[in-house]
Amino acid sequence: MLGSLNPSPHDHQEEDPSTTDLQYRRITQPSSPAIQMRQLLISCAELISHSDFSAAHRLISILSTHSSPYGDSTERLVHQFVRALSLRPNHTHATVSAFILNTSNATTSITTNTTTTTATNMSNITNFDSSLQSSYLSLNQITPFIRFSHLTANQAILEAIEVGQQAIHILDFDIMHGVQWPPLMQALAERSNDTLLPPPMLRITGTGHDLNILQRTGDRLLKFAHTLGLRFQFHPLLILNDDPTSVARYLPSALTLLPDEALAVNCVLYLHRLLKDDSRDLRLFLHKIKALNPKVVTIAEREANHNHPLFLQRFVEALDHYTAIFDSLEATLPPNSRERLAVEQIWFGREIVDIVAAEGDNRRERHERFESWEVILRSSGFANVPLSPFALSQAKLLLRLHYPSEGYQLQIFNNSFFLGWQNRPLFSISSWR
């Protein structure tokens, strides 16, 4: 794991072209390669934050020679951050779309002067969207983070809805492939068998950006529900962007609530997308959710502050967060894992580019730590619902059976669960009402 060292001080007033080389020689005195690379990355980010792009470019060239998407965890991490730093000087235009073009073209470094036809661009974006969906499924399989969030959220929903409730409605923001819901369906069917009560009517309203994906997700869930004898309906809710004001306007008109229907709202890795420089729009969204009077609201988020207004602070936070993630993948997957390569380059690579290279409204991955979400939620009228001991035992069983590594750590704080690697929390899951 990369050491937690502060960046070396630099005199950014110097114009001597040998300055970067001197910095490199000082940094590369005997120490671990991981610490060396961390110091160099932070030094490069520091140069960029002072608009010393020529010195940063020389440092990027040095870093590039010590990075590879196929190397050890440090080399792979450096590769992703070098790509993001390469885009940073033109952050007003260097959005994730530039990353899409270069990833689709299978390049090993990102440049900002690629010229392609509009048709090629659209084809690349379509291919990238497909790759992104595939990498999400791989992420769900090879890491415990998403499954942990889904399992714990499902248990919170089950416990919030009374036994014998005959109509349940779940509003799931960004449902993706709907992989969260088959286990919940099975649990509802089993609870019905145990209590000798008729199974409930389950409705899921799933939001997303692609109507075809939403419809295929609904079809799969419907078929699975039928195998369980569960009455089921799926309603796709197309949301073309994650502007919180637009999303809030969707809620009253697009969401149909039936009498005697228990509502659960699911926000797994979603709320951070609604964060902007001003949190008023997010608070409007949460007030709309609160007005729906849900039985429970489940929230999972990254445990990291990638929303800091200062670029350098955000960069160091991202570097430490993704170092832990890449170390966990290194320790739990074989070196030649194609799934890991796809997850690192496409899923996490997209996030790193967004956090490091984008600015203003172009930046979507605005993760916050749990204490910030706690303040926002409480000020919006929500109260924390403690996650149960059974939910904790389930999460521990998941880690023991499917991810048997001592590196994964499960902690409890303020009635919420935190899953991390070694001593660094990476994801939080909480329940609110």
pLDDT of 24 above 90:
no
Shared-domain flag, residues 85 and 98? yes
CATH number at residue 223: 3.40.50.150
Q: Which residue has the higher pLDDT, 143 or 98?
A: 143
Read off the pLDDT band of 256 (50, 70, 90): confident
Closest CA to 82 of 402, 315, 400: 315
User: Given 318, 346, 362, which residue is the final one in a domain?
Assistant: 362
Percent of the chain with pLDDT over 90: 66
Shared-domain flag, residues 284 and 325? no
Residues in Cβ contact with 227 at an 8 Å cutoff, skipping those fewer than 6 apart: none
pLDDT of 290 above 90:
yes
Residue given tokens 């450096």 in the structure block: 78
Examine residue 12 and state whether it is found in any structural domain, yes or no. Answer: no
**pLDDT tens readout for residues 58-116:** 999 999 999 999 999 999 999 999 999 999 876 544 455 555 555 544 433 333 343 44
Examine residue 319 and state whether it is found in any structural domain, yes or no. Answer: yes
The token pair at 405 is: 């590594």
Shared-domain flag, residues 285 and 389? yes
Shared-domain flag, residues 108 and 122? yes
Shared-domain flag, residues 349 and 317? yes
Examine residue 6 and state whether it is found in any structural domain, yes or no. Answer: no
Q: What is the pLDDT of residue 204?
A: 97
pLDDT of 124 above 70:
no
Examine residue 3 and state whether it is found in any structural domain, yes or no. Answer: no
User: Given 346, 362, 378, which residue is the final one in a domain?
Assistant: 362
**3-state SS record for the chain:** CCCCCCCCCCCCCCCCCCHHHHHHHHHCCCCCHHHHHHHHHHHHHHHHHCCCHHHHHHHHHHHHHCCCCCCCHHHHHHHHHHHHHHHHHHCCCCCHHHHHHHHHCCCCCCCCCCCCCHHHHHHHHHHHHHHHHHHHHHHHHHCCHHHHHHHHHHHHHHHHCCCCCCEEEEEECCCCCCCCHHHHHHHHHHHHHHHCCCCCEEEEEEEECCHHHHHHHHHHHHHHHHHCCCEEEEEEEECCCCCHHHHHHHHHHHCCCCCCCEEEEEEECCHHHHCCCCCHHHHHHHHHHHHCCCCEEEEEEECCCCCCCCHHHHHHHHHHHHHHHHHHHHHHCCCCCHHHHHHHHHHHHHHHHHHHHCCHHHCCCCCCCHHHHHHHHHHCCCCEECCCHHHHHHHHHHHHHHCCCCCEEEEEECCEEEEEECCEEEEEEEEEC
Examine residue 213 and state whether it is found in any structural domain, yes or no. Answer: yes
The token pair at 329 is: 């993948």
pLDDT of 213 above 70:
yes
**pLDDT tens readout for residues 49-69:** 999 999 999 999 999 999 999
Decide if 248 contacts 160 (C-beta within 8 A): no
Examine residue 4 and state whether it is found in any structural domain, yes or no. Answer: no
Shared-domain flag, residues 265 and 337? no
Q: What is the pLDDT of residue 384?
A: 97
Shared-domain flag, residues 88 and 213? no
**pLDDT tens readout for residues 180-212:** 999 999 999 999 988 888 889 999 999 998 999
Model's pTM, two decimal places?
0.86
Residues in Cβ contact with 244 at an 8 Å cutoff, skipping those fewer than 6 apart: 274, 276, 281, 282, 284, 285
Read off the pLDDT band of 126 (50, 70, 90): low
Shared-domain flag, residues 253 and 378? yes
Q: Residue 156 is which amino acid?
A: A
Examine residue 208 and state whether it is found in any structural domain, yes or no. Answer: yes
Shared-domain flag, residues 204 and 313? no
Read off the pLDDT band of 245 (50, 70, 90): low
Which residues form the domain of 231? 145-306+365-432
CA 174, distance to chain mean position in Å, is 12
Q: What is the pLDDT of residue 7?
A: 37
Q: Which residue has the higher pLDDT, 106 or 389?
A: 389
Shared-domain flag, residues 379 and 316? no
Q: Which residue has the higher pLDDT, 136 or 299?
A: 299
Shared-domain flag, residues 149 and 267? yes
Shared-domain flag, residues 152 and 28? no
| Number of domains observed in the structure of the chain | 2
Examine residue 10 and state whether it is found in any structural domain, yes or no. Answer: no
Decide if 405 contacts 327 (C-beta within 8 A): no
Q: What is the pLDDT of residue 32?
A: 81
